[in-house]
Amino acid sequence: MNKIRFSVIIPAFNSVATLIPAVASCLNQSDPPYEVIVVDDGSRDDTQALLAQHFSGKIKVITLPENSGPAHARNCGIQAASGQYIAFQDADDIWHPKKLEIVGNALTSHPHIKFLFHPFRLETEKTPPLTNHYSIVKYPFWKLLLRNPIGTPCAIIARHPELNFNEHFHYMEDYELFLNEAERNGVYKLDYPLTTLGRPVLSPGGQSSNRWAMRKGEIKAWWSFASRNPKYFTLVFVLSLYGLLKHCWKWLSQRKY
């Protein structure tokens, strides 16, 4: 067992249909986390009762009086966390049972890594067989600027005082955080899918299904990042034009059919 303490942050809003398996997948790790913090973001369902029934004494629960969005919920969890690394989870996703063991071994072997992510898989996709070796490479920052390949429940970041999501964002707040963290310490990829998504990215019903809002959020994330790192202003201007053109092209292509 590795000695790294992981704090798992799970925001939840009216998620009783999926929350219990999501939390259980974090607790039932081959190398259990230091703590699991569920932030009930103003739910109006039976979230509190179910958490008490299934996980009483096993997790921390933060109850927010009203729904404030995932950025604020995750920030509340981060502020309450005391682990060395923050591992994010969503209320409708499932972790591989050896995720923290694999990630912990990777971070122990590479102590300079402060920001790590891994791929995800869909429920319809097969899980690749486990091996004794996983490729860990530094992910090029320019690739992260072009597009965000990081699912929030696939990200593990070293806890520090400035780690927080921008609560002015309603979309792509995770991307804005990832850009800043990658610029600060670099970002590394562990090439094995350790999270199963409950729904495909951009699928109907999820926050990411609003494609235009997501595109605007992406552009907003670039400019917010550039405001902290002015040397990227020119590049961000070009990226914004690229993003708008890409969105228009996809919209026109869909209109044809």
Q: What confidence score (pLDDT) does residue 200 get?
A: 57
Q: Under a CB-based contact definition with an 8 Å cutoff, are residues 239 and 222 in contact?
A: yes
Q: What confidence score (pLDDT) does residue 199 get?
A: 62
The stretch 9-14 carries a mean pLDDT of 96
Strand order in the sheet with 136-138: 60-64, 35-41, 6-12, 85-88, 155-158, 115-117, 188-190, 136-138
The stretch 11-15 carries a mean pLDDT of 95
Q: Under a CB-based contact definition with an 8 Å cutoff, are residues 17 and 40 in contact?
A: no
Closest CA relative to residue 12, chosen from 69, 86, 85: 69
Region of 64 please: left (phi>0), alpha (psi -120 to 50) or beta.
beta
Q: If pLDDT is split at 50, 70 and 90, which confidence band does 256 have?
A: low
The stretch 205-225 carries a mean pLDDT of 81
Q: What confidence score (pLDDT) does residue 134 get?
A: 86
- Single-letter residue type at 204: P
pLDDT digits (tens, 9 = 90+) for 175-203: 999 999 999 999 999 999 999 997 655 44
Q: Please state the domain extents for the chain.
A: 6-200, 210-257
Burial 104-125 (b: 16+ CB within 10 A, else e): bbbbeeeeebbbbbbbbbeeee
Q: If pLDDT is split at 50, 70 and 90, which confidence band does 2 have?
A: low
What percent of the chain has a predicted confidence (pLDDT) above 70? 93
Q: If pLDDT is split at 50, 70 and 90, which confidence band does 209 have?
A: low
Closest CA relative to residue 147, chosen from 222, 251, 250, 233: 222
CATH superfamily for 6-200 is Spore Coat Polysaccharide Biosynthesis Protein SpsA; Chain A (3.90.550.10)
In order of 68, 130, 135, the CA distances from 120 in angstroms are 27, 15, 15
Q: If pLDDT is split at 50, 70 and 90, which confidence band does 235 have?
A: very high
Q: If pLDDT is split at 50, 70 and 90, which confidence band does 10 have?
A: very high
Kindly tell me if the per-residue pLDDT of 253 is higher than 90: no
Q: Under a CB-based contact definition with an 8 Å cutoff, are residues 30 and 96 in contact?
A: no
**Single pTM value for the model:** 0.90
- Outline where the chain has alpha helix (H): 19-27, 47-55, 70-80, 99-109, 141-146, 173-185, 211-228, 233-256
pLDDT digits (tens, 9 = 90+) for 44-95: 999 999 999 999 999 999 999 999 999 999 999 999 999 999 999 999 999 9
User: Phi, psi at residue 161, to the nearest 5°?
Assistant: -60, -25
Closest CA relative to residue 174, chosen from 243, 234, 220: 220
Kindly tell me if the per-residue pLDDT of 250 is higher than 80: no
Angle, CA 248 vertex, CA 247 and CA 251 arms, to 5°: 85
